Amino acid sequence: MKEPKEKWVRFIPNILSGYRLLAIIPLVWLLVNKSAPLFALLLCISLVTDILDGFIARRFNVATELGARLDSIADLLTIITAALGVYTFKMDDLAPFLIQFYIYLGLLSAQSIISLLRFRRFPSLHTYMNKTAGYGMGIFFFILFAVGMHVWLWHVVITLAIIAATEALLILLSLDKAKSNVKSIFHINN
């Protein structure tokens, strides 16, 4: 991994995560005011910044514990806001698939509760499966808002998301102490 030539590069991932946290305010405002196109646009920008912050942190070897935790909190709030957006604007499309959606949200909630109870902090695992599922969800949300519902894509993405959330839950139950950036259940001790 490359060391950044410019010292300011190390702040970019946290700035992008901070942006995602701040973007929650206008996203909620757009939800309340029923502005689906602007909500979708701002949500997509947030999803792109999520990809960029992790890429930059890894590429320039500037990942930090604070950055991992900040990113995880921004991820959680973005997922909740995206779910509210789907509920507000696209519920008719997802109504037949609510059980899968609720299972996924339940697993995410269980992760947060277990991590808070066991470690007094939100989880920040960033597993490969979570990243894959997160990218898939981002693509799904973009297509859902831009083009419309594609049932096959929903099934692929929600299956990946449920597997990723289950893996993360198992990791949290297996850890003795809080840990960030665990690549997979097979990397718990690394």
User: What pLDDT, in 10s, does the model give residues 16-40?
Assistant: 999 999 999 999 999 999 999 999 9
Residues 6 or more apart from 126 whose CB is under 8 A from it? Answer: 54, 68, 71, 72, 180, 181, 182
pLDDT over 90 at 171, yes or no:
yes
User: What pLDDT, in 10s, does the model give residues 82-134?
Assistant: 989 999 999 999 999 999 989 998 999 999 999 999 999 989 898 999 989 98
Closest Cα partner for 148 from 109, 92, 190, 110?
92
Both tokens of 164, joined, read: 């990723």
Q: What is the pLDDT of residue 6?
A: 67
> Given the structure tokens 């894959």, which residue do they identify?
132
Q: What is the pLDDT of residue 134?
A: 87
Burial class (CB in 10 A: 0-12, 13-18, 19+), 113: exposed
pLDDT over 80 at 77, yes or no:
yes
Quote the CA–CA distance of 129 and 183 in Å, as a whole number. Answer: 8
pLDDT over 70, % of the chain: 97
What average pLDDT does range 56-80 have in this prediction?
Answer: 88
Q: What is the pLDDT of residue 181?
A: 87
Please say whether the beta carbons of 66 and 14 come within 8 A: yes
Confidence of residue 5 (pLDDT cuts 50, 70, 90): low
Q: What is the pLDDT of residue 4?
A: 54
Q: What is the pLDDT of residue 62?
A: 87
What average pLDDT does range 54-76 have in this prediction?
Answer: 87
pTM exceeding 0.85: no
pLDDT over 70 at 148, yes or no:
yes
Averaged confidence pLDDT in the chain: 91
Quote the CA–CA distance of 67 and 17 in Å, as a whole number. Answer: 8
Q: What is the pLDDT of residue 58?
A: 83
pLDDT over 90 at 166, yes or no:
yes
In SS3 terms, the chain reads as CCCCCCHHHHHHHHHHHHHHHHHHHHHHHHHHCCCHHHHHHHHHHHHHHHHHHHHHHHHCCCCCHHHHHHHHHHHHHHHHHHHHHHHHHCHHHHHHHHHHHHHHHHHHHHHHHHHHHHHCCCCECCCHHHHHHHHHHHHHHHHHHHCCCCHHHHHHHHHHHHHHHHHHHHHHHHCCCCCECCCCHHHCCC
